[in-house]
């Protein structure tokens, strides 16, 4: 079995290595690395905000913090601001980085390209409102779900600078005249991108006014998350996972509200009959996807963190895993998505989708055979992934054991893909070292 895995890895390495060496992949990887510290800081701030400084948070509920901590009701304000300005604005950083690295590869003014892309994304994300004529920024476009759009804006800005501006010298002069020359040579691509951004923004606002797309998406998400069809639940889970690894928002990305129709019906049944085994809606996003398929966030990336600890020899992998462990325990996958990275990485596509679906399948079988009751009871905000099913079933030990089995199985599935990714990194480093050594030798 191990030899077969090694042969498959050796066969895939050359093809994936060629993809890794493309400028397209390099720009994406460097851009994600640029966003990583902002996402890491924002994630830790969000964990504190949800688990400690929210009355219904996991840690706040255990220690009853709101009853004895002075000024508890005001402590969340700075963390709200920090979370909003990092996680809900990180796509602006991504647009800056994508344009900067693209322009730099083509010897264009990378600083102006980056700033132009950041402003262009803000223009695109600006939504006009009728209240006091003050608009707002759409966080779906400038937050963590806007990374794909930011890469598109940054890449397009880099192309415009390549087509419509002149190359800049490698060693540019600090004199004001030379800086002005570089600025004026970049005015045309800057103007074209900003005008294009204004047109796209107007088109998006018109589309939202005509079709009420925001309300339509909310209605679709509500329908998907409140459905009790087993096949639709699995289908929406797969759609969410595919969209998430592409940096987009899926219907199951946000945790369900506690007053949805299916959850209320299940909870009322359990309270009335003193049992949750025969609730009317046993197969929903809450009972399957959120309870058993999101340990460590979408893609069950807590298993990947453990796989790195077990089987990786890469120092950088271990550094990212150490910083991502606490967020993963509280179901935040942002640091691992951008730090490893998992986003846009074809190697992790299969386990990212397969692992949650397998765990949901095991949970569905366990519920169907009445080995465990469905998750129907409210769970504190920010509850660690492996404890969600245990608390949500009112302390069912079998549900806790099933969660542990799911996590162990997930680690086994992630391990070979992690080894493949690590082998490709080693091959790329060896190739770079060989080229440098050869150049020195010559």
Beta bridge partners of 358: none
Task: Look up residue 332 and give its DSSP letter.
Answer: -
End-to-end distance of the chain based on CA atoms, in angstroms? 43
Which positions ≥6 away from 339 have C-beta within 8 Å?
32, 33, 36, 39, 40, 320, 323, 324
* 21 neighbors 428 (Cβ within 8 angstroms): yes
* 213 neighbors 111 (Cβ within 8 angstroms): no
Which positions ≥6 away from 60 have C-beta within 8 Å?
51, 52, 53, 54, 66, 380
Count Cβ atoms below 10 Å from residue 95 Cβ, excluding itself. Answer: 34
pLDDT at 48: 93
Task: Give yes or no for residue 432 having a pLDDT over 90.
Answer: no
Count Cβ atoms below 10 Å from residue 102 Cβ, excluding itself. Answer: 30
Question: Tens digit of pLDDT for each residue in 132-150?
Answer: 556 688 888 898 888 999 9
Which among 263, 409, 250, 253 is positioned nearest to 331, based on CA atoms?
253
Task: Give yes or no for residue 128 having a pLDDT over 80.
Answer: no
Task: Give yes or no for residue 44 having a pLDDT over 70.
Answer: yes
- What mean pLDDT, rounded, does the chain reach? 83
Task: Give yes or no for residue 218 having a pLDDT over 80.
Answer: no
Which among 434, 328, 440 is positioned nearest to 43, based on CA atoms?
328
Give the residue with greater pLDDT, 177 vs 99. Answer: 99
pLDDT at 441: 37
Question: Tens digit of pLDDT for each residue in 397-410?
Answer: 999 999 999 999 99
Determine whether 371 is exposed, middle or buried from the number of CB atoms within 10 Å of its CB (0-12, 13-18, 19+): middle
Please report, for residues 150, 202, 203, 231, 419, the alpha-carbon distance to residue 208 in angstroms, rounded to integers and kept in the order given: 20, 10, 9, 31, 45
Rounded to an integer, the average pLDDT of 104-115 is 89
* 47 neighbors 374 (Cβ within 8 angstroms): no
């Amino acid at each position: 079995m191990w030899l077969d895995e090694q042969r498959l890895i050796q066969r895939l390495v050359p093809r994936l290595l060629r993809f890794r060496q493309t400028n397209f992949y390099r720009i994406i990887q460097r851009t994600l690395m640029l966003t990583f510290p902002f996402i890491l800081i924002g994630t830790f701030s969000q964990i504190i905000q949800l688990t400690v400084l929210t009355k219904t948070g996991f840690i706040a509920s255990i220690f009853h913090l709101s009853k004895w901590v002075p000024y508890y009701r005001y402590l969340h304000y700075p963390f709200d601001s920090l979370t909003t300005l990092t996680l809900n604005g990180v796509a602006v950083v991504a647009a800056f980085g994508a344009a900067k690295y693209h322009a730099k590869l083509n010897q264009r003014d990378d600083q102006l390209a980056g700033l132009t892309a950041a402003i262009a994304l803000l223009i695109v994300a600006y939504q006009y409102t009728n209240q006091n004529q003050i608009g707002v920024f759409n966080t779906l476009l400038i937050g963590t779900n806007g990374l794909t759009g930011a890469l598109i804006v940054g890449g397009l800005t880099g192309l415009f600078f390549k087509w419509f501006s002149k190359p800049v010298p490698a060693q540019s002069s600090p004199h004001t005249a030379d800086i002005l020359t570089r600025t004026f040579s970049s005015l045309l691509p800057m103007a074209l991108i900003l005008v294009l951004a204004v047109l796209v923004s107007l088109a998006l606002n018109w589309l939202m006014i005509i079709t009420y797309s925001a309300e339509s998406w909310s209605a679709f998400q509500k329908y998907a998350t409140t459905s009790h069809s087993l096949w639709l639940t699995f289908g929406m889970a797969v759609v969410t996972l595919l969209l998430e690894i592409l940096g987009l928002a899926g219907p199951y990305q946000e945790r369900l509200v506690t007053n949805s129709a299916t959850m209320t019906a299940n909870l009322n049944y359990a309270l009335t009959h003193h049992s949750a085994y025969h609730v009317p809606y046993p197969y929903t996003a809450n009972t399957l996807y959120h309870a058993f398929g999101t340990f460590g966030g979408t893609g069950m990336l807590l298993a990947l963190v453990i796989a790195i600890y077990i089987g990786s020899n890469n120092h950088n992998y271990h550094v990212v895993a150490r910083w991502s462990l606490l967020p993963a325990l509280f179901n935040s996958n942002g640091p691992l998505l951008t730090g490893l990275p998992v986003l846009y990485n074809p190697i992790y596509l299969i386990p990212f989708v397969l692992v949650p679906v397998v765990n949901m399948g095991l949970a569905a079988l366990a519920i169907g055979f009445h080995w465990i009751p469905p998750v129907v009871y409210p769970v504190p905000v920010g509850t660690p992934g492996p404890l969600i099913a245990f608390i949500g079933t009112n302390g069912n030990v079998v549900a806790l054991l099933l969660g542990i089995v799911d996590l162990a199985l997930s680690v086994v599935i992630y391990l070979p893909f992690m080894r493949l990714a690590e082998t490709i990194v080693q091959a790329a480093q060896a190739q770079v070292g060989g080229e440098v050594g050869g150049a020195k030798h010559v």
